[in-house]
Amino acid sequence: MKALTYYGDHDIRFEDKEKPKILKPTDVIVKMVKTTICGTDLGIYKGKNPEIEPGRILGHEGVGIIEEVGEGVKNYVVGDKVLISCITSCGSCEYCKKQLYAHCKDGGWILGYMIDGVQTEYARIPHADNSLYKIPSTIDDEVAVMLSDILPTGHEIGVQYGDVKPGDAIAIVGAGPVGMSVLLTAQFYSPSTIIVVDLDQNRLDMAMELGATHVVNSGKENAVEAVKAIVGEEGVDAAIEAVGIPATWDICQKIVKPGGHLANVGVHGKSVNFEIEKLWIKNLTITTGLVNTNTTPMLLKAAATNKLPLKKLITHRFKLSEILHAYDVFLNGSKEKALKIIIENDL
Ligand SMILES: NC(=O)c1ccc[n+]([C@@H]2O[C@H](COP(=O)([O-])OP(=O)(O)OC[C@H]3O[C@@H](n4cnc5c(N)ncnc54)[C@H](O)[C@@H]3O)[C@@H](O)[C@H]2O)c1
Ligand SMILES: [Zn+2]
Ligand SMILES: [Zn+2]
């Protein structure tokens, strides 16, 4: 079978790999239907994760059809269409019992990282009973792909950790797929003001379409001053960081009001300047985290009602055989006006 593989900094290939086999009774083999490329995959491509073994198949988001089941799998049979969660969970370790699936002792984020992933024709999914979801017939495959990672990430690590409440003023810094997922799921909780900050005007325009009340282009104006001009000097109830660089952390720490929440979602490759000398007095809650996907079942129900305009996040479609080109387009996301890309298994 063909697969997108990683060999090191700026070295990905589309090559033949052996079809995966069941290794443990709790595994299934899935024939991929649709997958996508994540900002995290771009980070891998750019050399952020040298710990990844050469030859690893990338990808941790997608929808597939079960082709083979291990003898210990109880909830799935051959032919079921399933959503693959970016997080694998055994369901029984100390962390799984606390719903901190991100830290599962035999799982967590392993797909397309520590084990072969889903940007391919067939994938092995461990702990299938806890790591897959049946897709209601009312949910389109492409919409379902948005629920593997970005939607639960935005909801759990952005909105829930940010404790967004009715009437709140919130700021989302970063309007990539993750920031947009924060924007969509924040609206479950009816904040009165939602400010989205980014450098990319095209993404900001889309944020207005998706429910932002204000946008700030931080390439053109001082983001901290612009946010305070909208909500007042004290700042926002929740500042949600969805980029992962020092500059955007800094905006967040300067715009959150006393008693507020700063929820960091971005994956940082460097230290940030944490202004503890100014923040110690503010009674803030500052959170960090990797998505647990514990709210995926709830998000599936919300998506099934078609109330979330998830299709609007999809800007490009490619076949699996064109995946190297799809990486190129996604790498030039701003120029190509790309947000989320769907890759269909045509092989
Ligand atoms: N915590 C988790 O569990 C988790 C899960 C998935 C992704 N992530 C991380 O979330 C972050 C966002 O992911 P994404 O896929 O949306 O990424 P992305 O790269 O598509 O989006 C980032 C956005 O930030 C904007 N940006 C860059 N520099 C900026 C600046 N100085 N000021 C304002 N905006 C700026 C870009 O224009 C872009 O729109 C990444 O760091 C990703 O690795 C975290
Ligand atoms: Zn991802
Ligand atoms: Zn576990």
**Collapsing DSSP states into helix, strand and coil, what is residue 33?**
strand
- Whole-number Å distance, alpha carbon 59 to ligand 2 midpoint, is 8
**Ligand whose nearest atom lies closest to the CA of 290:** 1
Distance, first Cα to last Cα, the chain? 8
pLDDT at site 137: 86
Using left for φ > 0, alpha for ψ between -120 and 50, and beta otherwise, residue 88 falls in: beta
d(CA 47, CA 11): 9
| Ligand 1 environment, Cβ below 6 A | 39-40, 43, 149, 153, 157, 173-179, 197-200, 203, 218, 242-245, 247-248, 265-267, 289-291
pLDDT at site 307: 80
Which residue's CA lies nearest to atom 15 of ligand 1?
A: 39
Whose tokens are 């962390």? That residue is 95
Q: Which CATH architecture has domain 2-149+293-344?
A: Alpha-Beta Complex (3.90)
Q: Which residues pair with 30 in a beta bridge?
A: 66, 123
d(CA 199, CA 244): 14
pTM, entire model: 0.96
Q: Which residues pair with 122 in a beta bridge?
A: 31
What per-residue string of b and e applies to 221-256 under the rule 16 or more CB within 10 Å gives b? Answer: eebbebbbebbeeebbbbbbbbbbbeebbbbbbbbb
DSSP 259: E
Contact at 8 Å (CB) between 267 and 178?
A: no
- Please tell me the class of the 151-287 domain: alpha beta
Contact at 8 Å (CB) between 184 and 295?
A: no
- Whole-number Å distance, alpha carbon 182 to ligand 2 midpoint, is 14
pLDDT tens sequence for the chain (347 residues): 999 999 999 999 999 999 999 999 999 999 999 999 999 999 999 988 899 999 999 999 999 999 999 999 999 999 999 999 999 999 999 999 999 999 999 999 999 999 999 999 999 999 999 999 999 888 999 999 999 999 999 999 999 999 999 999 999 999 999 999 999 999 999 999 999 999 999 999 999 999 999 999 999 999 999 999 999 999 999 999 999 999 999 999 999 999 999 999 998 888 999 999 999 999 999 999 999 999 999 999 999 987 889 999 999 999 999 999 999 999 998 899 999 999 999 99
| Number of residues written out for the chain | 347
Contact at 8 Å (CB) between 102 and 89?
A: no
Q: Outline where the chain has alpha helix (H).
A: 39-45, 94-97, 128-131, 141-145, 150-153, 177-186, 201-209, 223-231, 246-255, 276-279, 296-304, 323-331, 333-336
Ligand 1 atom closest to the CA of 264, numbered from 1: 1
Choose among 20, 85, 9, 69: nearest CA to 44: 9
Which residue's CA lies nearest to atom 9 of ligand 1?
A: 266
SS (H, E, C) 201-226: HHHHHHHHHCCCCEEEECCCCCHHHH
Choose among 211, 181, 178, 214: nearest CA to 197: 214
- Whole-number Å distance, alpha carbon 6 to ligand 2 midpoint, is 16
Ligand 1 atom closest to the CA of 339, numbered from 1: 20
**Collapsing DSSP states into helix, strand and coil, what is residue 59?**
coil
d(CA 182, CA 313): 12
Among 88, 243, 330, which is best to mutate for testing ligand 1, by the most ligand atoms less than 8 A from CB?
Answer: 243
Spans of all domains in the chain: 2-149+293-344, 151-287
d(CA 271, CA 244): 10
